[in-house]
Structure 1
Amino acid sequence: MSSAALPTSALAISAAIRSGSLSATDVTRAALDLVSARDGEIGAFTTVTAERALNEAQAVDRLRAEGSKLGPLAGVPYGVKDLFDIKGLSTLAGSKINRTRPPADADAVLIQRMTAAGAILLGGLNMGEFAYDFTGENAHHGPSRNPLDTKRMSGGSSGGSAAAVAAGFLPLSLGSDTNGSIRVPSAFCGLYGLKPTYGRLPRTGTFPFCDSLDHLGPFARTVGDLALCYDVLQGWDGGDVACVDRPSEQASQELAKGATGLRTAVAGGYFRRGADPSAIAAVDRAAHALGASEEIDIPDVTRARAAAFLITNAEGSALHLDNLRHRAEDFDPDTRDRFLAGAMLPASWYIAAQRFRLQFEAAMRKVFSEFDILLAPSTPFSAPLLGQKTMMLGGSEVPLRPNIGIFTQPISFIGLPVAAVPVRVDGPMPYGVQVIARPWREDLCLRAAAVIEAAGVAHMTPSSL
């Protein structure tokens, strides 16, 4: 069947397969054909697992023919950032160095959960080397281009995960977020993304970047799809020592509650000074949809961002020390140089950053004693051009790459849950808004995101670009 005839949401695909109006095999073949025809232009995939995908689709069709109960994502194609273990493949994590790694002997836990829900894995998705990237430009595999404008960045480091969904190849994908790697690509590509609370989703079977900051989460084109995928992914796993054993929530069932009772504020000060006027307008439109008018200043945000940089550099470089000593030439030079800088940081700085983390967390607890939702820009500007090296920030020209995440880093620094919402503003490219809640209240993030979506101010990415 033609990919143009496919439903564009995970909910609609699963419903059509459940009813028998579509087969999982037809959906999968159409998605694979679209990837084959278009991904040369986009660069979203590093590996296409066509044989596996068709086998999984046929298994779903057999279950339906037998009258067996189908999972909530039955027949829905998806892809994963190439730091997730896929059984039988080497986990590249965007690098040249990992090409010699032995193939994974099992799928990552979140892939196992997607498979159990009936979803169909189409392959591994392009990413910044070792997840240390905000641009979506990979020195070894080429850039993952923004489907809204292929001259522009998809964002990183989960650039391929965002590009695959924005291009219409897949309704869902999985990525990771350490300092903004779900929220930045969501903003640049006009998608919804979810960075859950640190410790909510197990990272078992994924290649690490910075253990005390790494999160996993989904991308989608609608809030309903995002919430459904998040529900499937939840649950404790002992393979990740950071994973917290908490009851799973059915966030998808909470969306109908809307903004009722949600106390919402806009993050001011730091979060508005560095943003361009359209980024501020995006936040204000989201705030209006939620009935929010109060603006608050968050203390010590600049220090929080600086401390996040220190922790990221120190932990990331420690993981790669042996390769920095013996295979330095095989790194992307930009990645290598940042890891080398991290390897030279004094231990006392790292300790001070971790201590400040507790102070900033306490300050944010006070904020969330008064408010349920906090709104902030995801990025200070829309997607830059590929290859761009500098940007204007607060009237000064600064290096682009490290400053894309100025608004996301302070939030992931203390592991708060965030729904990334794309908002329509004047001009061709969308902007992203962070919808932030207290720990373990992803349901509130998603409820607020659904209200913004329903208000008609959210950016709607075309079904196929």
Structure 2
Amino acid sequence: MVSQREKGQVAIEVLRKIAEAHGFSLRPQDEPEYLSTVRAAQESVEYVEQMKDYVDPGLIRDLNVDGQIARTYTLPSPSENPLNAWSHRTYIKAPSIADSPGLLTGKTIAIKDNVSVAGVPMTGGTQPFHLCKDKPAPIPEIDAPIMSRVLQAGAVVTGTSTCENYCMSAMSCTSATGPVDNPWLRGYSAGGSSSGSAALIAVNFMKNRGRTSGISVEHLGEGVDLATGGDQGGSIRVPASYCGIYGLKPTHGLVPYTGIASLFPILDHCGPMAPTVRDTALLLSVLAGYDGFDPRMTPEAPLRDSTPRYHDRLDEQVAARAAAGTWTPAAAARGLRVGILKEAFEIAGLDAEVAAVVRKAAGRFAALGAEVAEVSVPLHLAAPHIFTAATRGYMADHLLFGQGSSTSASLPFPFPGAAAAPALDQAWYETMTASNPLVVVALLSSELLRDRARYPEAVRDKAVRHAHELRAAYDEALARFDVLVLPATPTVAPRHAGADMGIAEKTEFFLANTLNTLPFNVTGHPGLVMPVGWGRAGDGGEDEAARLPVGMQIVGKRLDEETLFLAASAWEVGGLGLDEE
């Protein structure tokens, strides 16, 4: 640790420059007293800096659920990782759980590689030399609460899943280890940034119970039953749409984000990814509830003991409708009010075939007995501007430097911004420009937008107020309807980014598929994506006849995930979305 003497006490010239930058001068007679008080603050900070770190014992007790059992990991070989969906392989389970079987007993799960898993490297999808000087990658010493919860529920963690570089892309071609392929069509995007999680679930779905569309599944490698994902603009929902699985971005603050790499706190969501509606509800039952540490969790967030068992609630609602004779293809959605979000069909780049598949899927609700009508929220089309203006100015602080991290007060977190992490340099720039220029854009735009002479803090404050306006606009629509339905992505999964793409083309490509997902990150509404049909790959080449899943997003009231699960389950009484080949 560098001592105070080595760092040097602040000199009066430094304070003079600070004062000058803010438009005033220190009076000579005041300088000694200001200098002494600032030096006192400096001394306190440097005193604490030298103290041994402290982690709340309650947090340690929650996280180290497997006691002293050693954890090991391996880097998967190409032969066991044909889709590049695995980051690291491991086998972690709790030595014992409660007397009764856990909710996830017998299920395998992958944890996204931006989550703290004790004893297993965490890369956040980026090159390890960006994170550590003297070891391959940061290795956390404790588990994030969501990791503890899946272990306590009896799941077996069989590995961490590949994610996009710094988790900043909604495609699947920027990871340091290479692209993650879509299981339905190699060479095509699995979506991002939770790309590996979606691909691994799709593998098991295709092998165990899904249609394969003529694909040979023997060469897809090992999959998982469940996975966790993170979502700051669509990073759960886009991969779910592209891979034909189910993904939920829960209400903001419902699932603790403690111990997970942050992009920006008001956008940070963690949620379940699964092969069925009920499995999605089951995993949410395990993940949700207040953890005592994450400030994203508001007083609305339920305590663990009062967190709904979403799968049980779904079972009860289905049983009640079945007993009443209404759980049928003619009446399963009776009583639901479904709004088709008009502006979601007006976004740039929306493919006509995807729009038609989702409109047909939305119309099925009427055949199932629901009240269905179009609803307009004009501000939906302005959401990307509101999103950017409200968050981009401070995004690099969280993404690259770990400053202002709302989880840093809870536990020593190895990524990003750790003391061992090297400073950004030319090698970092060259690597990121080649793999994911969005990260460089985040750094440059953050620095620019924090220039108070150019963009006063009032500009961001105004954007945050418009985020509240956007939330109120959706709330108004949801006062008339139980759920809103819309296309999850503008197209089916595209080919991976071409090597000939320039910086501007790449950055647009990496985010162009989030126009219908990112609005609900800034407003906090829950969004569930489910597969509802197929669309042609349509690239004009040899894959012209290939078909890929189309996803529909169902958005609900905040903390009303139960209605999303009911609506999705009712829709499937008419047949699963991928049933037709």
Question: What is the TM-score with the length of structure 1 in the denominator?
Answer: 0.83
Shift of residue 225 of structure 1? 0.9
Asked whether 1:279 is paired with 2:354, we answer yes
Greater Cα offset, 418-427 or 453-462: 453-462
- Matching residue's letter, 1:336: V
Q: CA deviation at 1:348?
A: 4.1
Compared CA separation, residues 316 and 252, structure 1 to 2 (3 A): same
Aligned to 1:445: 564
- Indicate which of 263, 270, 273 corresponds to 2:337: 263
Please tell me the residue identity of whatever aligns with 1:363: A
* Cα RMSD after superposing both structures: 2.8
1:458 aligns with 2:557: no
* Cross-structure match for 2:140: 104
Contact 1:374 1:437 in 2 (8 A): yes
Asked if the contact 2:344/2:487 (under 8 Å) is kept, the reply is no
Q: What is the aligned partner in structure 1 of residue 432 from structure 2?
A: 332
Counterparts of 1:199 and 1:118, CA distance in 2: 24
Q: Go from structure 1 to structure 2 and tell me whether the alpha carbon gap of 1:423 and 1:375 turns closer, same or farther (over 3 Å shift).
A: same
CA distance in 2, matches of 1:312, 1:390: 30
The amino acid of 1:413's aligned partner reads: V
Match of 2:447 among 312, 330, 343: 343
1:24-423 equivalences under 5 Å are 39-50=80-91, 52=92, 56=94, 59=95, 68-96=99-127, 97-99=130-132, 102-168=138-204, 169-244=223-298, 245-246=301-302, 247-255=306-314, 256=318, 259-274=333-348, 275-291=350-366, 292-319=371-398, 320=400, 326-327=424-425, 329-330=427-428, 332-333=432-433, 334-339=437-442, 340-345=444-449, 346=455, 347-388=457-498, 399-423=508-532
Distance 1:349 1:102, change over 3 A: same
What does the per-residue CA deviation read over 1:275-304, in whole Å, with 9 as the maximum and x for residues that have no partner? Answer: 212221232232123225311111212222
- Quick one: structure 1 residues 325 and 343, their matched pair in 2 at CA, closer, same or farther if it must change by over 3 Å? farther
Q: CA deviation at 1:102?
A: 4.4
* Code of the aligned partner of 2:432: D
Conserved? CA contact 2:438–2:507, under 8 Å: no
Conserved 8 A contact 2:228-2:273 = yes
Asked if the contact 1:271/1:407 (under 8 Å) is kept, the reply is: no
Moved more, 107-116 or 361-370: 361-370
Cα 1:343–1:83, aligned 2, differ >3 Å: closer, same or farther? Answer: same
Give the partner amino acid of 1:105: E
Q: Judging changes above 3 Å, is the alpha-carbon distance between structure 1 residues 72 and 398 closer, same or farther for their aligned structure 2 residues?
A: closer
Q: CA, structure 1 residues 461+315, in 2 after alignment: closer, same or farther (shift >3 Å)?
A: farther
**8 Å contact 1:282–1:432 — kept in the other structure?**
no
Structure 1 residues 389 and 243, CA gap change in structure 2 (3 angstroms)? farther
Counterparts of 1:141 and 1:445 in 2: how far apart (Å)? 35
CA distance in 2, matches of 1:398, 1:103: 30
Letter in 1 for 2:230: S
- The number of residues matched between the two structures is 416
Q: Secondary structure at the match of 1:381?
A: coil
* Aligned-pair identity (%): 27
- Structure 1 Cα separation of the partners of residues 365 and 120 of structure 2: 45
- Normalised by the length of structure 2, the TM-score is 0.67
**Native 8 Å contact 1:43 1:160 kept in 2:** yes
Once the two structures are TM-superposed, the CA of residue 264 in structure 1 deviates from its matched residue by: 0.6
Question: CA 1:388 to 1:461, structure 2 compared with 1: closer, same or farther past 3 Å?
Answer: farther
Q: CA deviation at 1:212?
A: 1.0
Compute the displacement of 1:461 (Å).
Answer: 11
1:202-226 per-residue CA deviation (whole Å, 9 max, x = no partner) reads 0111111111111000111111111
Alpha-carbon contact 1:313-1:338 (below 8 Å) kept = no
Structure 1: segments with no counterpart, 5+ residues: 1-31, 392-396
Residue 529 of structure 2 aligns to a residue whose secondary structure is strand
How many angstroms does 1:44 deviate by? 0.6
Report the Cα offset of residue 99 of structure 1: 4.5
Change over 3 Å in CA distance of 1:366–1:385 after alignment to 2: same
Distance in 1, Cα, partners of 2:385 & 2:202? 32
**Alpha-carbon distance change, 401 to 281 in structure 1, aligned in 2, over 3 angstroms:** same
Report the CA distance shift for 1:235/1:269 in structure 2 as closer, same or farther (over 3 A): closer
Q: Deviations over 1:146-178 (max 9, x none)?
A: 111111001111101111111221010001001
CA contact (8 A) 1:201 1:216 kept: yes
How far 1:36 moved relative to its partner? 6.5
Deviation at 1:438, TM superposition (A): 0.8
Contact 1:218 1:230 in 2 (8 A): yes
Aligned residue number for residue 405 of structure 2: none
Structure (1 or 2) with the larger CA radius of gyration: 2
Output the amino acid matched with 1:98. Answer: L
Shift of 1:343: 2.3
1:181-220 CA deviation, whole Å, 9 max, x = no partner? 0010001110101110001000111111111111000111
